[in-house]
């Protein structure tokens, strides 16, 4: 599996994502023409992610968003009903696609050892291709309304569950050591998240996405694999 494959998946999905957003929010989005709506949703989301890689969503004003996206404040409010709804919209869709792509990828693996490697690689690749999106989803989750926060937590736990299941499978098949499964999945998740949370660090040090993925796999296999 090569990283470039992933980039393609994500780029192709960009319109698809906005299309999904449009579908799921047909009532609150006032624009009739689908093509126009999708185009501008992409502009709005790109602008939001660009701004929020530099400052927090709270700190971003609708005026900032207007300037960055090149749309007027009034026009923006044809695409969402409130600033908070914009946050929810981006987060929900980000979680959705991340989870879907990850599940798709892992399904291709044969046996727990390969699935584990595939899960780690897929997640790191995906977070590389959608870095601003992942960063935004993580860092702004606390600004979500309570009910949406719950959904974010569930999503986080579900991703972890994927790894828990793989590790359990490996223990049953006697290819993995009988370690604390939940903790193992937790620290795997921690290492995966570091890649998109500390992108500046790895970029400065010229650590490639493959270097990092291989190293994480090495650490995990050292801990789990029976030699």
Partner DNA sequence: CAATAAAAAACGGACGTTCGTCTTTTTTCT
Partner DNA sequence: AGAAAAAAGACGAACGTCCGTTTTTTATTG
Choose the stretch contacting a second copy; rule: CB under 8 A; options: 30-38, 109-117, 163-171, 213-221.
213-221
| CA–CA dist 139, 149 (Å, integer) | 12
| CA–CA dist 184, 217 (Å, integer) | 12
**Residues paired with 176 in a beta bridge:** 225
Of 53 and 172, which has the nearer Cβ to a second copy? 53
Please identify which residue in 21, 162, 216, 217 interacts with a second copy, judged by CB under 8 A: 216
- Binding partner at 211 among DNA, a second copy, none, C-beta below 5 to 8 Å by kind: a second copy
The tokens for 101 are: 């792509």
Of 97 and 220, which has the nearer Cβ to a second copy? 220
- In the complex, the smallest distance separating the C-beta of residue 141 from DNA, rounded to whole angstroms, is 18
Q: Do residues 159 and 100 lie in contact, with contact meaning Cβ atoms separated by under 8 Å?
A: no
| CA–CA dist 154, 159 (Å, integer) | 9
Rounded (10°) CA dihedral 141, 143, 146, 151:
-20
- Binding partner at 205 among DNA, a second copy, none, C-beta below 5 to 8 Å by kind: a second copy
Q: Is 223 in the site for a second copy (CB under 8 A)?
A: yes
| CA–CA dist 219, 140 (Å, integer) | 29
| CA–CA dist 219, 194 (Å, integer) | 14
Please identify which residue in 11, 72, 180, 203 interacts with a second copy, judged by CB under 8 A: 180
Q: Is 193 in the site for a second copy (CB under 8 A)?
A: yes
Of 58 and 203, which has the nearer Cβ to DNA? 58
Q: Give the DSSP letter of residue 177.
A: -
- Binding partner at 22 among DNA, a second copy, none, C-beta below 5 to 8 Å by kind: none
Of 81 and 99, which has the nearer Cβ to DNA? 81
Of 35 and 206, which has the nearer Cβ to a second copy? 206
Q: Residues 16-55 vs a second copy: string with x where CB under 8 A?
A: ---------------------------------------x
Nearest to 84 by CA among 148, 139, 156: 148
The torsion angles phi and psi of 176, rounded to 5 degrees, stand at -110, 150
Q: Is 146 in the site for a second copy (CB under 8 A)?
A: no
Q: Is 215 in the site for a second copy (CB under 8 A)?
A: yes
Rounded (10°) CA dihedral 11, 17, 19, 23:
170
Of 67 and 187, which has the nearer Cβ to a second copy? 187
């Amino acid at each position: 599996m090569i990283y470039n494959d992933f980039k393609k998946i994500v780029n192709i999905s960009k319109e698809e994502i906005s299309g999904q957003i449009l579908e799921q929010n047909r009532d609150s989005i006032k624009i009739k023409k689908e093509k126009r709506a999708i185009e501008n949703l992409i502009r709005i989301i790109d602008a939001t992610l660009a701004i929020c890689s530099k400052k927090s969503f709270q700190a971003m004003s609708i005026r900032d968003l207007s300037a960055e996206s090149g749309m007027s404040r009034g026009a923006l409010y044809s695409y969402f009903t409130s600033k908070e709804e914009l946050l929810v919209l981006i987060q929900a869709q980000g979680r959705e696609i991340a989870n879907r792509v990850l599940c798709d990828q892992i399904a291709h693996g044969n046996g727990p050892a390969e699935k584990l490697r595939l899960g780690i690689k897929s997640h790191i690749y995906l977070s590389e291709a959608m870095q601003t999106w992942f960063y935004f989803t993580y860092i702004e989750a606390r600004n979500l309304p309570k009910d949406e926060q719950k959904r974010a937590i569930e999503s986080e736990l579900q991703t972890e569950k994927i790894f828990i299941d793989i590790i359990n499978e490996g223990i049953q098949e006697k290819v993995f050591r009988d370690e604390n499964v939940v903790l193992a999945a937790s620290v795997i998740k921690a290492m995966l998240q570091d890649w998109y949370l500390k992108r500046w660090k790895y970029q400065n040090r010229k650590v490639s996405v493959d270097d990092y993925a291989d190293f994480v796999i090495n650490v995990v296999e050292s801990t789990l694999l029976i030699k």
